[in-house]
Amino acid sequence: MVLALALAGGLSAPAGWWVTDRLEEDNDFCVACHLTPDVPLHREKRASLDREPATTLAGAHGGARWDDRPFRCIDCHGGAGFAGKARVKLLSAKDAFWYAVGRFDEPDQMHWALRDADCTKCHTTFDERERRVGHDPRFHELTVHNAELGVDCVTCHASHDAGGLEDHYQLHADRVRAECVACHPEFDLQ
């Protein structure tokens, strides 16, 4: 019996992985679940992806093309590398199970937040412009900020929160300032 279950699991896992990969190509699949009649899961997040002009970092990506196709939710939320993708698949399977048995509550935050690897799989460089002579360096021009600081990309670049600075990569000034103060107490305005 245990061997039969192990064999069934071993055969169905790759098929499930392939099927979910195909389903996740459609952004509307990602919000297809309903917690109450006619109210899709993550409705506002999905709307922000298509809003013109973009009001969130997700929206700025939503109007982009990647690998000659429209940008999809799964491009950020799909995990980076095999381990990241497996982590996302397991969480999705758990959520699907609890949704199917009627005991799913929409989370108010991500249980497994986006990681830098989810951003750097597309954004391999931070600031490709040359250093401006005679000016203070931009944040990402300083190596310590890119590799040594330990701050995740989404700490400052909030993906689904409206109110970011459109011409500054959807940075949220209060969130950025709070991070800066950790190393630079002189920036504390309180």
CA dist., res. 54 & res. 128, Å (int): 23
In the prediction, which pLDDT does 157 show? 80
Q: Is the pLDDT of residue 130 over 60?
A: no
pLDDT band at 91 (very low <50, low <70, confident <90, very high): confident
pLDDT at residue 111 tops 70: no
pTM for the model stands at: 0.71
Separation CA 73–CA 12 (nearest Å): 25
Q: Where are the domains of the chain?
A: 2-187
pLDDT for the residue numbered 108: 66
> Which pLDDT value is given to residue 125?
66
Higher pLDDT: 15 or 137? It is 15
Residue 66 has pLDDT above 80, yes or no: no
Give the pLDDT confidence of 14-27 residue by residue, as tens digits: 887 888 888 888 88
Cβ atoms 157, 171 nearer than 8 A: yes
Residues 6+ apart with CB under 8 A from 129: 138
Bigger pLDDT: 107 or 186?
A: 186
Q: Does 118 score more than 80 pLDDT?
A: yes
Predicted confidence (pLDDT) at residue 74 exceeds the cutoff of 80:
yes
Query: In the structure, what pLDDT confidence band is assigned to residue 58 with cuts at 50, 70 and 90?
Result: confident
- Measured distance CA(29)–CA(23) in Å, rounded: 6
pLDDT class for 30, splitting at 50, 70, 90? confident
Phi, psi of 35 (to 5 degrees): -85, -30
- Residue 99 has phi, psi (to 5 degrees) of -70, -45
Average of per-residue pLDDT across 54-82: 81
Amino acid 135: pLDDT:
65
In three-state secondary structure terms, 151 is: coil
